[in-house]
Every structure is written in C-alpha cells, then in structure tokens.
Structure 1
C-alpha cells in the first residue's frame, strides 16, 4: 500500500470531451457531497433521476431478440419457483447495441454498470421480470459504457433480463441476479460428505430475508440427484453428496429459485470417490519405546518405528498417549495413516535442545491420506534444520489436521506449495507465517492464529486457486510490549500475491480479527528494529501486475492474436480489454500458440484492432463475506503513515465482492487501489461492496489510482471501472467517509464508480481525475 497523499480539495470538474456530442453537462453549484439532497445529477440532461424522459412504449412489442443461451441439467428436474417466460426470440439486426460486461447483482432502484458497443444517444435498456416489462433509467451513457438504474417498482429480488435497444433494434439480453457458480471445494469428495459451491447470487433473496438454494448433481449415465443443502448464503452453499451417488464424474448445478429453467448456473465439475477407510488398527508409540522420560534420540527412533509399522498396515492409526515427547530429528509424514493424540492440551511433541541442524523440518513429507488430530507440535525455540519451516508438506494431498496445536514462536510454520486438498479445523497456530505457494483447494475452518515476531502475515498465497477461510480468528500473541516484536504481527491475516500467477476463486467468510495493526515505530526510527509501517492490510491482494500490453491484431470468439507475448504456462494470467471494442471484458488464458491466445470462455463482444489488451497475473473471483475486522486506535488517529486497512485489493483485481463485513478502528476500512507497474497497468474492474459497516475508521473507503512515475495512461483506458458501493454505513469516521486520490490532471483513471443508498456523512469529494461517477440516494 503506497504512502498517503494530501487530500485534494478541488471543485468538481466534468470534462465535456467525455460527453456525447451535442449534450451539455450538468455541473453542480457546489462541491459533491454525500447527503440526503446531494445527488450529483447525470452528466447529460436527458438522464434525470425520475427517468420520465427515458420511457418507451413496450406493451405492443410481441418479440425480442434471442434470449439467454439456456443451460439446464440433463435429466432436467422440475425447477422450483415461479414460472419465467420471457418474450419469444427474433434475430438481432446490424448495428444493434450489444452488452459485453455488466454488474451481476442489483435490485429495484439499484444501478448496473454496462459495457458494450453501439450505445447510441437514443439507446434504451429494457428490463423483463416475470410478466413485467419496463425500461431502466439511464444515468450515464457513452458509446461503449453506461450506468443504468433498475425501475423502482420492479418485483423485489428476482432474476431480470436486460436488453439493449436502439433505432437499429434489440441486442442480446443479459441476466441480472442469475445464479452464478465459480468453483466447488473440495471438488473431490465421497458420498455422505459435505462440500461447497462458491459464486454469487447463489441464494434466493440474496441475503435479504429467508435464504434458499437448490443443488442438483448429474452424471454421464443420465442420472440426476438432488443434494441435501446444509447451509446457504449468497456466495457459498454447503451441500451433502447423497449416499446413493456412485463414484464417478458429476456436474454440479445450482439454482437460487429465480428464473425457472433460465436460472440454472453453468455447471461445475465434481469427482465422487470412495472415502479412504481407516482400518481401526492402532499402533501405540509407547509400545515401540517412546516415552515422556525417554531421551530425544530414543523417542525419535521409537516414533519412526511406529510410523514405519503404519506404512505396512495402510489405514492404521499411530497413537500418542498423553505426555510430552521430545524429539531430535524430523518425523516423516506417512501416507494412508492417522496420528492421534489424547488432546491438544494433553499430548505434546517438542523439539529438544539437541534437534538436528540437518532435519527436513519437524514434520515433513509429500503424502496422501494423512490425518493428524488432538495433539500439539511445539518447536520449543529449538527448531533448526535444512528446511526453513518446521512443517514442510509440499506436493501433499488429502491431508487433514483437526484440533492440532502448532506452537512455533519465532518461526514460520507451513510450506504447502503445490499441495491440494488440505484441511485445517479447530487448530491453533502460534508463530509467523505459513506459505501456501500455489497450493490449491485449501480449507481453513474454525482455527486460531496468534502472530509473533513482527511477521508480515499469517497466510500468503502465490497463485493459489480455490482457497477458503471460514470462522477463523487472528490476533497478536501478546502486543503489550511496544519495544519488542516477539508477540506482534504486522497486521496482515491473508495475502494473495501474483508472483507465481493469478490467485483466483478465494472465499474469506465469517472470520474475526482482534486489535490487529502493525507495531508502532520509534521516533526517530530505529532501523533494523522497527517494523515497516507500510503494513497492516488485513486481507490484501497484490502483485497482480501487467506483463503485456498492446492492441489486438486479430480475434475470434475464443481467441485473440497478439505479438510479443511468450508466456506458455496455462491458467496463470488474464487478458483484460481496457479500451476499444469489447471494453471491460476479462478472460483467463488457457493456451498460447505463437501469439494466438485461447481463452477460458468466449468473448460476448469480439475485440478488433481498436481493442487495447492488458495481460497480467490478475486476481479474479474473490468474495470477502461477513467478517469482523478490527484494528487499533493508533492506526486511526496517528498522523504518521500506516497501511492498516481491512480489505485491500491492491491492483489487478477482477470480479471482487465484499459484503456484510464490519470494519472497525482501521486507517481505511476498504482501500481500493488501481495502480501501474512497468507494463500496461493493473486494472480493478467490476467490484461490488455492499452492506458493509465501518466503525471509527480514519476513512471508511479510500480509492487510489496513480500511474507509475507519472507515465501517460490516456491510451490505456481507466484503472478502476465498474466499482459499486451500495447500502454501506459509516459511523464515526475521523477524516472522511470516502476519499479519492488521483492525479490532478490527465485521464479519468476512476471511471463509472457508483455510490448508492449508502449512509455517509456530508463529505466533500474530489472529482478531478474521475469520470462518470454516480452518487445516488445516499443519506447522512
């Protein structure tokens, strides 16, 4: 997080160059403010809030262009909910408007950002909801982008279809509030087990009242199975795989109760396997010579003998009775085995003072089907060895730690690079950070993290895919001593970094942090002793840097052809159109054959030579839901810089949702950064921040966009686009509820940002360097 700049205090500026020809801007008489009567009117006269000048006659229209491409499970079950019968299809015409990208979630009197082509001056947007057809209110419109507000008298919480229309005819529709699944985790499970599907709009009512969701599994043999839904929120649905489902490959279909057969999300893949069965055979380490009174060397030898015996009896359990077992070397993790203690506070495995300098960790191995429960590992200030972390588990799979303590003050803990299907529940982590690397399908639920030694963070991923953190807590171990970092962290819980590729499919839900902020520096600073104050972002995504930028040479529905791009590794980078035809669309790259880039899904609007493309390790499809993130008062009140923020997408972050979080005593509750490194820029496109509560922060929301070293960016398009702040509440902000930091001149780096239905105090807002912002029905 970059150091803070002085707050701007310029008057609002609206660039006439950004308006349609012949349209005069509406310029407010005073600085923009948030308040009951502070709506900044649209930047052209035909877009008054009431929408009366946008009405069109629809009742006599019998047909519309082709509706959604309907995806349905086969066999197709009877779909719960009300009928959904949109108008019959007809062929679209030449020069009709087409939508490329759009906001997926909105209710009556809420707004949607759209990109596309052929948005002419007389373009309208038609909304269908069950038997109703209405036109949306146009708040902003340019040839390739628009902001619209859905009619306030639409039925509440339903799936809507949205058609663009101009004098040439209707374009293809897009859905709003349609069920959308992003990933399944774990995506390999057994009959009777609980797994989860993640995405957006997963729940009927989307968190507004009673929730419901439906999950249906289909197989290649033509059979379908309704799953028992266990727990539901708008972004995660837990379901139980039916016991009668045989092993095989399945599609997971999810439906939120709206849209009938049009409302099914595209399927996700699930592998159903027989669960590995433990045999019941138990191997007691004391029977092999281990004892709390034995020497570390004798214990190490005895425990290893028990582990070797388990290798010869797949499914066996190695039992550690209550007591403390000192060891002198690492213990090899064993495949197809369980280790079980008498309790996290009863069985201890500790590094002795004689612990080997050549040890491969304290627990080490690349294993499959390895479970540990009810004991504590303690490095005891004695860990040393060839591995830099005591728990070195790279390339492992199907590993579970349940009710396990990891007492590692002074040390980093885990290395989980290239691991898959790793589960932690009810565990306590005391120490520095755990390195997730490119570990994927990682699940932390109900754990406690206590940070030490001014560690940078508790968990950091370098390109992991499918990571879920739920119901965890994070705090400093003991932050009473300001002169010692022994009991402090730097205020970070989870960091996703693009060093080894995009972090995507991340869910952080219902976690709690307490008093989490970087330790203060001395005045004057004691170099080598004081922690870097540019720390403290509790949930952060960074390193999503642009690696290639330029114009498209050619394109098809599924590809683009470019020059000079040589990355061959699939699924680690994204292509984003930041200007020109197809603007706003982002796609993951799955193949590169001599500059012909294949995408993970087709373009809705195919780019052409006018399309400016940025490719980078951009993060995608992230949900931060219902967390309580707490900092320290010093972070709020100090005049010295600290980067203490609750949620921070630090550039190159796409399709990001933060909903129903409480953010307290932070310098910035949400710090939304769109930046530039060396190539292109790192766009933050299509974010949704809704129903969050900010308490006693310095700033509730901070948007920040600056080019690197003053580079010119006019040819590259906006840095931040399609970001919506909706139904948020700020209380007790020390400075401002919202602050925007952008260059005082140049291109509008923050473009089509919406603030609607929020409860903010009357803050003056800088709008130079911004473009097509909408402030709609916010309250003091």
Structure 2
C-alpha cells in the first residue's frame, strides 16, 4: 500500500454548456490503429475549425497518482474532475471528413505508431478541447462477492475496452481516503476482460478503481469506477448427512423423507452431504436459505414422476454441487424465487421427458433451469434437459458448462437478461437464444469463447435481443433540468404512469439527437430522468421511450449452421468481436420499429470477425424465410436516427459472405456508419448499400478490399464517401 498525497485534478476544460460551442456525446472507443477512423458525434460539430492528432509518450506510471481525461458518453453528463489533456509528441493536422452539425470523422495518421492518441479540436472562437483514443475504458467489475464489489484477497474480473495492448503492462490502482493500492494484472483474456487479485490487506469501503494499459503515460488512465470492498461472504460449515436421517442410497428405497429431514435440520444454514449412492426421490426438494447440498463422485439422485412445479427449488442463498440428477417427466428442474445467491457447480442434469412433450410445451415458460437475481454462479455443469435455460436479471458467472436440448420441444430456448454477467467457455445447443427484457435495462454482459454447433429450430437465432417494446414516440413538449414533458399528440402503447421506470428516453431526431437517459419516474405526460441532457431537446426534437441494452459484449464466440447473431432493436455501446461464423445468417445491427417501439441501435462495434462458407441454407424440411448468403448487415428503419455510429472494421468475409447497409424509407435512417479495413472475397458484390435518396447519411467506406468489385461504380446511393 502507498499513501496518496496528491491526485492530479487540473481542469483543462470544463464542459461548455453555452450555445454555439461544440458539445460531444460520443467518440470511437474501439481499438484504433494508424490509418483507421475515429467518429466524433455531438452538437455544434460544424463549429470545429481545426483538428490535430498526436501520439502520447509511454511514460512510466508506477510511481504516479492516476490521472485521466474523461471521454464523452451519450448517457451521462461530462465528468468535470478529469486532468489536463497532454498533447502528443507531434501534433499533426488531419482532414475533417464529412463534417456537419452532428458529426465529423478523422483518420489517425499512418505516420504515427500504435498507441494512445490525443485528438485536439479548436473551434471557430479559438477554444480548445479534445479527448484520447485507445485509453482503457472500465465499464464494470465483478468478483465472488458481487457486482462492482469485492472482498480483500478476491480475484476481480475487469470488463471494458482497450484493456490489453501489445507492449503494455496493465495495472490497477484503487484509491480511498488518501490511500492507494496498486495491483498488476494477473491474466488477460482479451482486449475486453482481464483479471487481478486484490491485496489481502485492503480495508472495507468505497474505492475509485483506475486502470492503465501500459501506453499513453501519466494521464492515460481510465475514468474511475466506484468499487465497494466488502466483507467476504461466508457459508456455514456445519455438516449434516442424509444417511444420518435414514437415507440408504441403494437404488430401491425411497429416500425422500430422509432428504427432507436433513434439509429441515439444516434450516439455519450448513452443508447437507450426500455420499456416493443411488438415491430415489418421489417429491420435489425445497432448499432452505444458507444450505449447500453437496455430493461426491458417484452421487446420483433419481427423481421419479413428481407433481411439484420444480424438482429442486429455493428462495435464495442455496447451492448444489457434485451431483448427478436424473429426472423423468418433470417440467421444472432447478428454480429460485428470491434475489439470487445461487451456486450450481459440477452438476450433471439429465432429463427424459418421455411422452409428456405436449404438457411441457403447454407450460414451456415454467420449465427447465430458471435462475434470477444477483450473484449466480453456474460452473462446470452438464445440462441435458427439455425445458428452458433461463437466467433473468442476473449478475454473476456462468462458466465451462454444457447446455444441450433434449426432448424435442420447439418452444423452449435459452433466455438471458444480464445485469453484470460473465458467460464464458460454454457449449450451447438449444432452440434459440433471447437476450434482454421488454422494459428493464439489460447491461454489462461479457460473453466469450462459447460454441454454438447448430440451431435448426424457429428463426435459428444464435443471439438476438428478442424484440423489446416501446412506450412513447413523438416530439418533446418541453425540457427543464432532468424533467421532460410529453406532447399529447405523441404515439403511445399501453402507456401508464411509472410503467417505464428503468427504461430509456432517447433523442432520435432534432436537437440533441444521439443522447439517452434513464427514467426514474413518470406520469402520463411528465418524465423525470436520472440526469439532465448535455444538450437539452427542444420542440424540434423527436424522442422514443424504449428499453436500454448497454455494454453487451460478445467476444471470440463460434457459431455454425445457424441463424443470425444480432442486435435486434434497442442496443447501445455493444460489441461483437472475433466471432467465427459458418453457414449462418450472419451479423445484424438493427435499429427499427419493433413491437410498437422505435428502438435505437447506437454506437455498435462489429470488429475482427470471420464469416466463411457463406451460403446460409436451412435444414431440409424446415421453413425458413432467411434463406440466402451470410452477411454483416447494418439496418435502420422506422424513423430517422435509429442506427447511429455503427463501426464495421477488420472483418474477414469469404465464400459469398458480404457486407450490407439496409435503411428503410425515412430520411437519415442510418447515420455515421463506418465500414473500414474489411476483406471480402468470393462474393459477387462485397458491399451492397440499399435505399434511395438521403436515407443513408454520412456513411464512410474506407480502405476495404472487395475483390474485383469497383466500389465507386457499384454504389449509387447518396450520403456516403469512399476512400
């Protein structure tokens, strides 16, 4: 531990709220190399007269207090506590590409080496502002002791962007009340997730966590994230044994009563041990809070036909480990009804639905494995079941598991509503994968290195945000502080006071477009937001109230013989990176009018993916309207501004796979998309841009390889530029 005597807080520029000055909502945060493009998005961007770019020196930061330059965010006001921005070694003027009131693009000069870059902007009044490119961004952390929380000595997983840089050495600093703890990175999973071990001596309290990726010097730390250091969660170690209460485990005696007695005895918390054996149960088990049911090698629990809604249930704070569970005709397998804290480790769960398929399909949403709440840990399990795999409103870990669909149902699927979830190194084979919820926000997902071998059922989706909905669409009546009034002529759907608490209010057109905020409470015509907008909407502004899906990262996954991997409807600041896909529908980023909601798809990164063997052919005898060639497809339809700032970069497409931009019929459906440094081979046309007139606005096509296609000749739509 070191004592922190001075934390640099030298204000270089305060957020300028005055009119006629540039205001930034978003800049590119994806890893950006020399020769690649940075999008700058906001209001009054046409007032910028000069932009310069330079590389920061990689000074050592081991003995320096953390300092940072805040990045603009579309859902928050600017951070006013940042440090003075430092110019690069040699600041070089760059072209202002497609400059307009809302946006401009710049290319990092090829003459610069890979690193962290300073982007310095001067407006027409001589005022200077700017930001850094390739600085680390920490969105969230998680440990065994909670989301954005940890205990002394915990392993802490850190998720964000630009966490790993070749030649750099990542480190973390935690600061509280003048004390500073420095920690080196233990393991690097990829650019989006790393692991550190916290000091055993760190004390409880609130800390500011800073991250440095080793490049950029003393002011290139991440914007701090508040992390709670808490007491280590402890389970009672008092032991109970089912054989003490009469269980035989001989494969013939009904051991239900013995299990129930052991669980009752452990009702104040403890471990119920189940020695190796073959146990026959004829009723469902209810696990009390604080109880862990622990088997060992050779422990098998056989459930006969059970009338209970689920075989194993509990409210919260319970666990199952080292068990083989076999079930016949059961609908629910393992479910909880409380606020989480459920542990499933080293389980083998096998289900034979027999002739009960019709019954299962009639109750499909109440079947299978269904967990909800915080601190869910599912590890090293094998599930071969007929019902749902449902994880709703969950934070925690799902790791090294095998999910396999059994029983022939076409209605059950995997449902995931993340709120701080690591889902990695799993095998997933089921009837579809729906992410998100209708109203409540989905946020902070890191899903990595999972394998989907095929999906031949329904729409065959490998990942979809499952539609969502909408509450209000129309112009603003007025805005004051964090309160917005709605006009009576707006469109509503099942609109009721406070129904959309936890949803989002998006400015999709007019003044302030490209920003969103979260709804705290609302009446029929008045909305209270979590923060004011940086640029307040006015009567020209069009808003949409719909769900938020923020910081959902899908990294280095694999999918074969399946449908789309898609941000379908509302998605913000999300990533698909390193996806390997074969004979599937491809990757889609779709902002559109879905289920009565205008749902924005904003600031999405689709990077470093490989799409091969690109003909998407449904299984024989399966009805499928998505027959065609594999593609990366950027879609905006339903109103202006439903797809803003999509980045399609460094993807490799072969075997008829291609890139497509698909606006609807409204003006400016797709805005400020960047298609850059992609390699397409084997397709007749490597890029297709659809739409007539100004439906595509400021599309930038840069430094791609499209085989023999003459891109300038092939594209006839307006609103784009090719370099």
TM bucket, shorter chain: 0.7 to 0.9
Aligned partners of 1:255 and 1:265 also within 8 Å = no
Cα distance, 1:569 vs structure 2 = 6.0
Q: CA separation of 1:365/1:673 partners in 2, compared to 1, >3 Å: closer, same or farther?
A: same
Cα distance, 1:595 vs structure 2 = 5.1
Q: Which SS does the other structure have where 1:113 is aligned?
A: strand
Cα distance, 1:746 vs structure 2 = 4.4
Pair 1:442-2:396 in alignment: yes
Alignment of 1:555-594 (within 5 A): 555-556=479-480, 558-563=482-487, 566-568=496-498, 572-592=502-522
Q: CA separation of 1:154/1:76 partners in 2, compared to 1, >3 Å: closer, same or farther?
A: farther
Aligned partners of 1:98 and 1:117 also within 8 Å = yes
Alignment of 1:660-675 (within 5 A): 660-666=578-584, 668-675=585-592
Q: Which SS does the other structure have where 1:539 is aligned?
A: coil
**1:334 maps to what in 2?**
288
**2:169 maps to what in 1?**
212
Q: CA separation of 1:455/1:422 partners in 2, compared to 1, >3 Å: closer, same or farther?
A: farther
In structure 1, distance between residues paired with 2:511 and 2:250:
74
Cα distance, 1:702 vs structure 2 = 3.7
Pair 1:474-2:428 in alignment: yes
**2:152 maps to what in 1?**
191
Structure 2, unmatched stretches of 5+, are: 56-87, 354-359, 361-366, 489-494, 616-628, 708-723
Q: CA separation of 1:76/1:627 partners in 2, compared to 1, >3 Å: closer, same or farther?
A: farther
Cα distance, 1:577 vs structure 2 = 1.5
Q: CA separation of 1:599/1:229 partners in 2, compared to 1, >3 Å: closer, same or farther?
A: farther
Cα distance, 1:594 vs structure 2 = 7.3
- Candidates 313, 329, 346, aligned match of 1:382: 329
**1:509 maps to what in 2?**
448
Q: CA separation of 1:227/1:172 partners in 2, compared to 1, >3 Å: closer, same or farther?
A: same
Alignment RMSD: 3.1
**1:393 maps to what in 2?**
336
Aligned partners of 1:117 and 1:582 also within 8 Å = yes
Cα distance, 1:435 vs structure 2 = 5.3
Aligned partners of 2:118 and 2:130 also within 8 Å = no
**1:549 maps to what in 2?**
473
- Candidates 214, 234, 237, aligned match of 1:276: 234
Aligned partners of 2:444 and 2:550 also within 8 Å = yes
Cα distance, 1:307 vs structure 2 = 1.5
Cα distance, 1:696 vs structure 2 = 1.1
Cα distance, 1:629 vs structure 2 = 1.8
**2:182 maps to what in 1?**
226
Aligned partners of 1:754 and 1:775 also within 8 Å = yes
Q: CA separation of 1:568/1:605 partners in 2, compared to 1, >3 Å: closer, same or farther?
A: same
In structure 1, distance between residues paired with 2:368 and 2:557:
24
1:111-147 residue CA offsets vs partner (Å, 9 max, x unmatched): 1222222233874333343332223332312222223
Cα distance, 1:624 vs structure 2 = 0.6
In structure 1, distance between residues paired with 2:597 and 2:428:
36
User: What TM-score comes out, normalization by structure 2 length?
Assistant: 0.80
Q: Which SS does the other structure have where 1:362 is aligned?
A: strand
**1:65 maps to what in 2?**
none
**2:610 maps to what in 1?**
693
Cα distance, 1:760 vs structure 2 = 1.2
Pair 1:362-2:311 in alignment: yes
**1:753 maps to what in 2?**
673
In structure 2, distance between residues paired with 1:604 and 1:153:
35
Q: CA separation of 1:78/1:701 partners in 2, compared to 1, >3 Å: closer, same or farther?
A: farther
- Candidates 313, 316, 321, aligned match of 1:373: 321
Aligned partners of 1:544 and 1:651 also within 8 Å = yes
1:633-670 residue CA offsets vs partner (Å, 9 max, x unmatched): xx6xxxxxxxx12x21111111111112211221x221
More divergent stretch after superposition (210-219 vs 440-449)? 210-219
Pair 1:451-2:408 in alignment: no
1:558-588 residue CA offsets vs partner (Å, 9 max, x unmatched): 4544356755267621122211222212222
Aligned partners of 1:621 and 1:656 also within 8 Å = yes
Cα distance, 1:87 vs structure 2 = 7.7
- Candidates 632, 644, 648, aligned match of 2:566: 648
Q: CA separation of 1:263/1:251 partners in 2, compared to 1, >3 Å: closer, same or farther?
A: closer
In structure 2, distance between residues paired with 1:678 and 1:366:
33
**1:424 maps to what in 2?**
378
In structure 1, distance between residues paired with 2:507 and 2:414:
32
**1:8 maps to what in 2?**
none
Aligned partners of 1:183 and 1:268 also within 8 Å = no
Pair 1:156-2:100 in alignment: no
**1:771 maps to what in 2?**
697
Q: CA separation of 1:764/1:265 partners in 2, compared to 1, >3 Å: closer, same or farther?
A: closer
Pair 1:348-2:300 in alignment: yes
Alignment of 1:161-310 (within 5 A): 161-163=119-121, 165-170=122-127, 172-185=129-142, 186-187=146-147, 188-203=149-164, 205=165, 209-210=166-167, 212-219=169-176, 221-232=177-188, 233-257=190-214, 258=216, 260-261=218-219, 263-279=221-237, 281-293=238-250, 298-310=254-266
Q: Which SS does the other structure have where 1:139 is aligned?
A: coil
Pair 1:540-2:464 in alignment: yes
In structure 2, distance between residues paired with 1:150 and 1:86:
26
**1:54 maps to what in 2?**
none
Q: CA separation of 1:174/1:306 partners in 2, compared to 1, >3 Å: closer, same or farther?
A: same
Pair 1:518-2:444 in alignment: no
More divergent stretch after superposition (556-565 vs 108-117)? 556-565
**1:97 maps to what in 2?**
22
**1:682 maps to what in 2?**
599
**1:460 maps to what in 2?**
415
Aligned partners of 1:181 and 1:254 also within 8 Å = yes
Cα distance, 1:626 vs structure 2 = 1.1
Cα distance, 1:339 vs structure 2 = 1.8
Aligned partners of 1:100 and 1:583 also within 8 Å = no
**2:618 maps to what in 1?**
none
In structure 2, distance between residues paired with 1:445 and 1:91:
45
In structure 1, distance between residues paired with 2:13 and 2:537:
29
Q: Which SS does the other structure have where 1:538 is aligned?
A: coil
**2:62 maps to what in 1?**
none
Q: CA separation of 1:89/1:544 partners in 2, compared to 1, >3 Å: closer, same or farther?
A: closer
1:516-563 residue CA offsets vs partner (Å, 9 max, x unmatched): 1215xxxxxxxxxxxx3xx11112112233321222333356454435
**2:620 maps to what in 1?**
none
Q: Which SS does the other structure have where 1:367 is aligned?
A: strand
Structure 1, unmatched stretches of 5+, are: 1-72, 476-488, 520-531, 636-643, 708-712
Cα distance, 1:409 vs structure 2 = 4.4
Pair 1:147-2:105 in alignment: yes
**1:739 maps to what in 2?**
660
In structure 2, distance between residues paired with 1:672 and 1:88:
35
Q: Which SS does the other structure have where 2:574 is aligned?
A: strand
Aligned partners of 1:546 and 1:617 also within 8 Å = yes
Aligned partners of 1:184 and 1:270 also within 8 Å = no
In structure 2, distance between residues paired with 1:614 and 1:141:
26
In structure 2, distance between residues paired with 1:93 and 1:664:
51
Q: CA separation of 1:225/1:675 partners in 2, compared to 1, >3 Å: closer, same or farther?
A: same
User: What TM-score comes out, normalization by structure 1 length?
Assistant: 0.74
In structure 1, distance between residues paired with 2:404 and 2:510:
48
In structure 1, distance between residues paired with 2:634 and 2:16:
44
Cα distance, 1:415 vs structure 2 = 2.1
